[in-house]
Structure formats: C-alpha cells, structure tokens
Structure 1
C-alpha cells in the first residue's frame, strides 16, 4: 500500500484534478517558506503563484513521487532567480540615458 503522504502526489501525476488542487493547497505554505529563503521579499508571492501554476501544468511529468519535494525546490528557486533577473534589468539605467 502506498504511503499516505505520497497518495496525493501519485493521484495528481495520474491526472486527478481534485488531488492536484488539494496537493497545491497542502504544499503552498512550504512553497512560501522556500520562496522566503530564495527570493527578495517583494517577489515571494509572485514566485509562489508562478510555481503553483508550473506544478499544475507539469505534475504529470514528475518521474517519481519521492522526487516531488526536490522538484518543488528547483521550481521555486528558478522562479525566484527569474524574478530577480527581471527586477535587476528594470533597475538598470541604459548606457545612453542622460
């Protein structure tokens, strides 16, 4: 019998939308904690929202349920880096600015 903590992940991987919704609700606080450690404070909510959307779209591609926590960490880390890069670009002044 499958361990209860992996049941929702497996169901979500198999396309069960209710399981995916419950999984995302259950893991949202963890995603937020991860984002607080990886993002600037202003980017935390955006990183979490984008990460949730990515998880929703790609959960079926997850190879094993045991990989789920690490996969989440990678998604959040990439989203934080992307947001930081976008913010940094917006803060730079063009070379020809006078």
Structure 2
C-alpha cells in the first residue's frame, strides 16, 4: 500500500485514480494524508485549531480531489487548503468577518459538481475578453506560454490572471 507517510509523497497513480473517481484510491489517499496535513497545519494554525484544520482539509480533499488539474500539484494544493482552513479558523476565533473567498467557498462546497461547473462557466463567460483569454492556464499552459501566445509580458499575464480570478470570485459570491 502506498502512503504519504511512508514515502513522504503520494504515489501519482494513486492521486490520479482518486481524481478520476476511484473510491478505493480516495480512501487510501484520505487515510494516508493526515500526517502531512497535520504538519502543514502545525506551521500555519494555532495549536487549538490544528485538529479542526486537518478535518476541514480532509473533508475538502474528499469533496474536491476530482477538481485537481495536475497530479503533480497535489502537495501544493493540500498545503493551500490547510493554510486557508487555518486562516478561516483564526478569523473565526477573532470574531472577524468572513472574506469573499470564504463566502464563495462555503457556498460552493455544498453544491453538486455539475452546478459548480455551470456557475464557473457563467462566471468565466461574464469576463471581458482580455481577461478571459489569459485564463488559458485552465488548459495547463504556463505563464510564459500564455504570454507568447498573447504577445504579453509575464507581468501583464500574471496581473490579468489575478484580476480575472478576483472577478470570478466576485461573480460567484453574488449568486
């Protein structure tokens, strides 16, 4: 049995199988992930929030592993999910208001995957053309490749991607 704890990283074939809907692979991935998630959470959370952050991250892993674009980005994705869970818990414990990203994520987490695809498609279609065209990173192009295709500098591509993602988030929060 391949595990994150034994090898220090997940077997790409296990991640790919879980991403494609293999329930056994997903169970193996979820059972192997807690040590890494706990390590990530220990770096980013208050001690009192570590267990909650691990649980939230595992729940999101279960619900959203199919949305992972590239198997090689699994560890970075898991780290980002754990970090966001820690920040959300910290804001909640301090009585701070949720950010628009938190609101969008909380709303989307409970929707079926097909509804999310429809909402996301509508959000992308609502973007102006010059923002929509830089979202070629959905097609897994690098920043440099997008810049070459569109005759833009690396900085311009990054700025447009950032603005496009903010606009998509705003669109999803409004609904």
What TM-score does the superposition give when structure 1 sets the normalisation length?
A: 0.85
Report the alpha carbon displacement of residue 86 of structure 1 after superposing the two structures with TM: 0.3
2:37 corresponds to: 31
Report the number of matched residues: 87
- Which residue of the partner structure matches residue 69 of structure 1? 75
Runs of 5+ in structure 2 lacking a partner? 1-9, 97-175
TM alignment of 1:1-98, pairs within 5 A: 5-89=11-95
Per the normalisation by structure 2, the TM-score is 0.48
Q: 1:5: how far off? A: 1.4
Q: Which residue of 2 aligns with 1:94?
A: none
Q: In the aligned structure 1, how far is the partner of 2:60 from the partner of 2:17?
A: 17
Larger radius of gyration: 2
**Residue deviations 1:17-75 (CA, integer Å, cap 9, x gap):** 11011001111100000000000000000000010000100000000100100000000
Q: Give runs of ≥4 in structure 1 deviating > 3 Å.
A: none
Cα distance in 2 for residues equivalent to 1:55 and 1:20: 9
User: 1: CA distance between counterparts of 2:51 and 2:61?
Assistant: 15
